[in-house]
Every structure is written in C-alpha cells, then in structure tokens.
Structure 1
Amino acid sequence: MGGSLTALLIAVVGVAGTLGAALLTQNRADRTKRMELQAAAEQRREERAHAEEQLRAERERQKQSESLERRRTCYITLNTASRQYVTAMTNHVHAIRRGEDVVVSLENLEAARAAYRDSYAEAQMIVPNAVARASGAAKHRLNEAYGKLRKYAAAPSTYAAELAAMEPELHEEVWPAVTAMRVAMRLDLGIDDD
C-alpha cells in the first residue's frame, strides 16, 4: 500500500500543480491586462486634458485678438473725433474773429463735440487704465477749451483778447493732450512710437 499511496500522492500533487499553474498564469494575464487598460485610460485622460488646455489657450488667444481689434477700432474713432473736435473749435474761433457766419461753425462744433462725447463714452468701457488716464486728461483740456470758447463767443467784443489767445491755447495745451492720448493708444496696441 505504500507504493500506491505514494503514486496517488504524486498524482494529486501533479494535478494540483497543473491546475495551480493554469490559475497562476490566468491571474497574471488578468493583472497585466488591467495594467494595460489603466495605462490606456491614463493616456486618454492626459490627451483629453491636453486637448482641453489647447482649447482654453486658443479661446484666450481669440479673446485677446478680439479685445485688441475692439480697442483698435475704438482708438481710431476716439482719435478721429478728438482731432475733429479741436479743428472745429479752431474753425469756430476763426469764424468769430473774422465776423463770419458763426451759426454754421457752431453747428459743426456741436456735431464734432457730440461725436467726441460718443466715442469717449465707448472708450471708457474698454480702454485700459493708462489710456483712460491719457484720454481723461485730453477730455479735460477739450472741455475746458470748449467752455471758454462758448463763454467768449457769447460776447466776442468783450472777450476779444481772450479769443485772440484761444488759438494758441488750443495748439499749446489741447493738441499736446490729444497727442499724448494718441501715444498711449499706440503703446497699448503695441505700435512702437520711437
């Protein structure tokens, strides 16, 4: 009986070893497959995150480009309106001093003033602080000159000396403020103004 028990024991160990090897192999294969699936899922997450980051960056670039274009359009309008406003004031001073038809020059001045106010109001909503400070200083000079001009125009004979000084004041005080505003706008747009 000793020999048959040994043979049976050997047979049981052999079958158990064969079954155990198959289970161990299957277990390792399952674990390898899980690791591959996890790696693939991680790679998809990374690719998705990268794609989302690229999309965010593209949206930010587009937003900056749109903002730059919006400011550029606003700056063109504000610069044009402020220059036309100063020119209309100068023309009105000339009309008063020459005794010409001031009604037409006053209408032109009021139209230029209204256009400037509209463009300035738009600029207040979109320009950065540096440009807002420069445009505010220009607005102050323009409004101050306009107030004086309206006062002097009401009684030109009383304010003849002041009217004579008005044109140099426009050139020496108002134009430099408008120029400083233009320089600030160009700097904001990235235009080198050497």
Structure 2
Amino acid sequence: MELSSVIIAVAGVAGTLGGAVLTQRGSERAKRREIELVRGHEEIRENLSLRRSCYVELNRDARQFTTALNRHLHVMRERGVDDADTDALEAAKNAHRDQYSEAQMTAPDEVLARASAVNRALNKAYGQVKRLERGEPDPGETMETAARAQYEVWDLLRAMRAAMRHDLGVSPDREGRPPVGT
C-alpha cells in the first residue's frame, strides 16, 4: 500500500509540474504569436507611413515641376530667360526626378503606372520648352504646343493623386471601388 501511495504522490507531483510546464510553454507560444502580430502591424503601419510620405512629396514635386514649366513658358514669352529662371526650372525638375526615383522603389504597380505617365509627360513638356528656349524646336513645336503639353499634365496629376489616395485607403478609386482595407 505504501508503494502505491508513493506512486500516486509522484504521479500527482509530476502532473502538477507537467501542467505548469505545459501552461508556461503555451503562454510563451501565445506571447510569441502576439509579438509577431504586433510586429506585422508595425510593419504595415511603417510601410503605409513610408508610402504616404513618398506620395506627398511626389505629388508636391510633380505639381511644382508643372508650375515651373508654366512659369518658364510665360517668362520666355514676356522677356528673355535668365540664369535664375533656368535654375528654378532645373531645381523643380531635379526634385521631381529624385522623388520619382523613390516612388519607383516604394509605390505599388497601379500607382507607379500613373506616376510614370506623369513623369513621361513632364519630361516631354520639358524637352519642348528647352528646345524652344534654344531656338531649335522639333517640327510642329511652338509655344502653344508646349503650353498645351504642360497643361495636359494636370489631368495626369489628378489621376496619379487618385491612385495614391486609393492605395492609402483615403478614397475610392476612379471606378468607385472602396479604399484598400475597408
């Protein structure tokens, strides 16, 4: 009888200790999953913040480049272009180029397609403006065609901005699909 009491006692202690160990391991696994979940949410938030910053700067710099092209065309019509005018246009172009380069590494394909369209249109208008400024326009290029090319960028900018806002979950896309994550 004593042996069975000892066996029962040992089994009880082992069960109690084993239960505590299993409970602790389960708790550790749950804590690890919770930490992984928090890290995942932090990554998502950080990625969203990075895209938002990139989009704000790309939108701003593309708009400023468009405005600088418009101003440059007006200066060319009203008076001759001086170094300060050229420097202002080049600064706007370079800021846009740098921000577009960042977007190429950050933006998803849908946003990047819109940003690429804006970039191509801006570079096309810039090329026309610079050829006109040098007095060496391509056939058919005039101040009016350059102004029209610059003006058409605004529609592309609106489409780019809409794609960015949709990606950030701020507004529906052009087809009315709800923002991502809703």
- How many residues align structurally? 173
Question: Residues 131 and 138 of structure 2 are in contact (CA less than 8 Å); yes or no, is this contact kept in structure 1?
Answer: no
Identity of aligned pairs, percent?
31
User: Is 1:91 the equivalent of 2:71?
Assistant: yes
For 1:188, which of 160, 167, 180 is the aligned residue?
Answer: 167
Q: Distance in 2 between matches of 1:119 and 1:169?
A: 21
Q: What corresponds to 2:156 in structure 1? A: 177
Q: How does 1:157-168 map to 2 (within 5 A)?
A: 162-168=142-148
User: Is 1:51 the equivalent of 2:31?
Assistant: yes
| 1:43 shift after superposition | 0.9
Question: Residues 88 and 105 of structure 1 are in contact (CA less than 8 Å); yes or no, is this contact kept in structure 2?
Answer: no
Q: What corresponds to 1:34 in structure 2? A: 14
> After superposition, what is the alpha-carbon deviation per residue over 1:113-132, rounded to whole angstroms, capped at 9, x for unaligned?
01111111122222222211
Q: Distance in 2 between matches of 1:95 and 1:159?
A: 22
User: Is 1:138 the equivalent of 2:118?
Assistant: yes
Q: Distance in 1 between matches of 2:73 and 2:140?
A: 11
Following TM superposition, where does structure 1 have runs of at least 4 consecutive aligned residues deviating by more than 6 angstroms? 156-161
Question: Residues 124 and 132 of structure 1 are in contact (CA less than 8 Å); yes or no, is this contact kept in structure 2?
Answer: yes
Q: Distance in 1 between matches of 2:79 and 2:27?
A: 77
With normalisation by structure 1, the TM-score equals 0.81
Which structure 1 segments of 5+ residues have no match? 1-20
Question: Residues 129 and 146 of structure 2 are in contact (CA less than 8 Å); yes or no, is this contact kept in structure 1?
Answer: yes
Q: What corresponds to 1:17 in structure 2? A: none
Q: Distance in 2 between matches of 1:78 and 1:62?
A: 24
Question: Residues 85 and 109 of structure 1 are in contact (CA less than 8 Å); yes or no, is this contact kept in structure 2?
Answer: yes
Task: Pick closer, same or farther for the CA change 1:128–1:158 going to 2, 3 Å.
Answer: closer
| 1:181 shift after superposition | 1.3
Q: What corresponds to 2:60 in structure 1? A: 80
* Structure with greater helix share of residues: 1
Q: CA RMSD in A?
A: 2.1
| 1:32 shift after superposition | 2.0
Q: What corresponds to 2:4 in structure 1? A: 24
For 2:91, which of 82, 89, 111 is the aligned residue?
Answer: 111
With normalisation by structure 2, the TM-score equals 0.86
> After superposition, what is the alpha-carbon deviation per residue over 1:99-124, rounded to whole angstroms, capped at 9, x for unaligned?
34454332211110011111111222
> After superposition, what is the alpha-carbon deviation per residue over 1:61-93, rounded to whole angstroms, capped at 9, x for unaligned?
111111111111111111110000000101111
Rg larger for: 1
